Amino acid sequence: MQQQTSSTDVWFITGAARGIGFSLARQLLARGDIVVATSRNQSVLRQALGHDNPQLLTLEVDLINEESVQNAIHEAIATFGRINYVVNNAGYGQQGTIEALTDSELRHNFDVNVFAPLHVLRYVLPHMRAQQSGHIFNVSSIVGFQGGYAGWGSYVASKFALAGLTETLAAELAELNIRATVVYPGPVRTGFLSKDTLVVAQRTIADYTEAQASLDLHLNGLDGKQAGHPDKVASLILAAADADEPPVHLFAGKIANSLAEQKMQAVNHDLECWREASDATDY
| CA max distance for the chain | 67
Domain that holds residue 160: 10-253
Mean pLDDT of 241-248: 96
Note whether residue 5 is domain-resident: no
How many other CB atoms are there within 10 angstroms of residue 254's CB atom? 11
Note whether residue 217 is domain-resident: yes
pLDDT in tens, 93-145: 999 999 999 999 999 999 999 999 999 999 999 999 999 999 999 999 999 99
Confidence of residue 52 (pLDDT cuts 50, 70, 90): confident
Of 39, 140, 154, 158, the active-site residue reads: 140
Note whether residue 270 is domain-resident: no
Mean pLDDT of 167-192: 90
Question: For residue 1, what pLDDT is reported?
Answer: 38
Note whether residue 190 is domain-resident: yes
Contacting residues for 16 by C-beta, under 8 A, at least 6 apart:
22, 24, 25, 35, 37, 38, 39, 45, 48, 49, 89
Mean residue pLDDT of the chain comes to 91
**CATH code of the domain in which 21 resides:** 3.40.50.720
Mean pLDDT of 154-182: 97
Note whether residue 280 is domain-resident: no
Note whether residue 183 is domain-resident: yes
Confidence of residue 50 (pLDDT cuts 50, 70, 90): confident
Distance CA 22, CA 13 (A): 9
**More confidently predicted of 2 and 166:** 166
Question: For residue 4, what pLDDT is reported?
Answer: 46
Residue 208: active-site member: no
Confidence of residue 268 (pLDDT cuts 50, 70, 90): very high
Question: For residue 2, what pLDDT is reported?
Answer: 39
Question: For residue 90, what pLDDT is reported?
Answer: 94
Mean pLDDT of 267-281: 97
Mean pLDDT of 190-212: 78
Residue 254: active-site member: no
Note whether residue 20 is domain-resident: yes
**More confidently predicted of 1 and 216:** 216
pTM of the model: 0.91
Q: In this prediction, what percent of the chain has a pLDDT beyond 90? A: 75
Residue 159: active-site member: yes
Does pLDDT of 218 surpass 70?
Answer: no
Of 155, 158, 184, 208, the active-site residue reads: 155
Does pLDDT of 157 surpass 70?
Answer: yes
Radius of gyration of the chain (CA): 20
Of 158, 159, 184, 208, the active-site residue reads: 159
Mean pLDDT of 245-265: 96
- Cα separations (Å) of 198 from 109, 133, 155, 192? 11, 36, 11, 6
Across the strands, what pairs with 178? Answer: 134
Work out the burial of residue 139: count CB atoms within 10 Å of its CB; fewer than 13 is exposed, 13-18 middle, 19 or more buried: buried
List phi, psi (to 5°) of 24: -65, -45
Note whether residue 243 is domain-resident: yes
Domains identified in the chain, total number: 1
Q: Name which of 145-149, 166-170, 178-182, 221-225 the model is least confident about.
A: 221-225
Read off the amino acid at residue 150.
A
